[in-house]
Amino acid sequence: MAFSKDTKRELARVIPEERCCRIAELSAYYDFNGYLFGGGKYLDFYHFTPLIARKILTLVKGVFPEVQTQLLVQRARARKNQVYTVRVLQPVDARMVHEAMRSQEYLDQEREILALSCCRKAYVRGAFLGHGSVTNPKKTYHLEIFTEKYEVAQKVYHNINAFGLEAKITTRKGDLLVYLKDADHIVTLLNLMGAYNALMQLENVRIVKDMRNRVNRLVNCETANVEKTIQAAVEQIDAVEKIQKHMSLSDLPPKLAEIATLRIENPYATLKELGQMINPPISKSGVNYRLQQLIKISKSLG
């Protein structure tokens, strides 16, 4: 949770330069936690985090410096913490702000994909700050934005995927979740939203994880090779000992007698090491061929 909170603190301090982007981010807060009351008597944005509430107020005043606003602090009924409400007071101002948010330019009007890339980034950032979280990458890779509103979930989903990402939608306890589980896609989205510190933390964790996985794979591979070598050596020694019960090794062809003796005398030697003990030295495949001949002879003895 600390990683998610730190990411939100970072994003709460990102103020878009362009007016259109500020409106796009405000529209995200409105989609998730906004209301136009009494046919436009006043307009509210609310949030449970004071830092984000202050950002909403900053955005409203930055885009509409002439409007009258009020910051209300109330105790939430169903929660122990407080709810912070940014209210646009005058009816004419409330309708103006609402109309500005509803009159954005869209690349796809039906899916409400915003026309400008910068505005899509701002909208997704607002959606994440409104109702999003990202799991500590030390545990797993998971970023989600949740809402009970189907239209809002679809809008978030399409605006994220307009960047070439592969967000998915699922349900959980009555909410719709737009989520990403691919680490590369989460890194890309953090970058698009402007969470550069969180991005670097995630990348550092991923590098350490990848190194550990690589070391584990190498260790497992080496262990498997050692086990395979030991099993092969045991089979070869068993074959030679079985032959010895039926005949003298000197009765074998000289090359087979030589490798049989070396195998018994050097039970832990690799094929390459056995090959170097022979004069003149022979290859691993040559050693393996002779040992396989000994195994065939042992099997023929019943």
Residues across the chain: 302
Query: Which residue type, as a one-letter code, is found at position 23?
Result: I
Instruction: Give the span between the Cα atoms of 247 and 241, in whole angstroms.
Output: 10
pLDDT bracket for residue 77 (50, 70, 90):
low
Instruction: Give the span between the Cα atoms of 19 and 15, in whole angstroms.
Output: 10
| Nearest residue to 60 via CA among 26, 14, 10, 89 | 26
**Average pLDDT over the chain, rounded to whole?**
91
pLDDT, position 33: 93
Quick: pLDDT tens for 244-265: 888 888 888 889 989 989 988 8
Residues 6 or more apart in contact with residue 97 via CB below 8 angstroms: 26, 43, 60, 64, 67, 88
Instruction: Give the span between the Cα atoms of 100 and 97, in whole angstroms.
Output: 5
Residue in the structure block whose two tokens are 């550069």: 196
Instruction: Give the span between the Cα atoms of 169 and 269, in whole angstroms.
Output: 57
pLDDT, position 81: 75
Whether the CB-CB separation of 281 and 258 falls below 8 Å is answered with: no
pLDDT, position 95: 94
Domains in the chain: ranges and CATH? 2-194 (3.10.28.10), 220-300 (no CATH)
Per-residue pLDDT for 227 more than 70? yes
Residue in the structure block whose two tokens are 């410096």: 65
Instruction: Give the span between the Cα atoms of 273 and 258, in whole angstroms.
Output: 14
* Cβ-count burial 106-131 (b if 16+ within 10 Å, e if not): ebeeeebbbebeebbbbbbbbbbbbb
Please indicate, yes or no, whether the overall pTM of this predicted structure exceeds 0.85.
Answer: no
Instruction: Extract the tokens encoding 54.
Output: 């202050």
Per-residue pLDDT for 75 more than 80? no
Quick: pLDDT tens for 189-226: 999 999 999 999 999 988 888 888 787 887 788 777 77
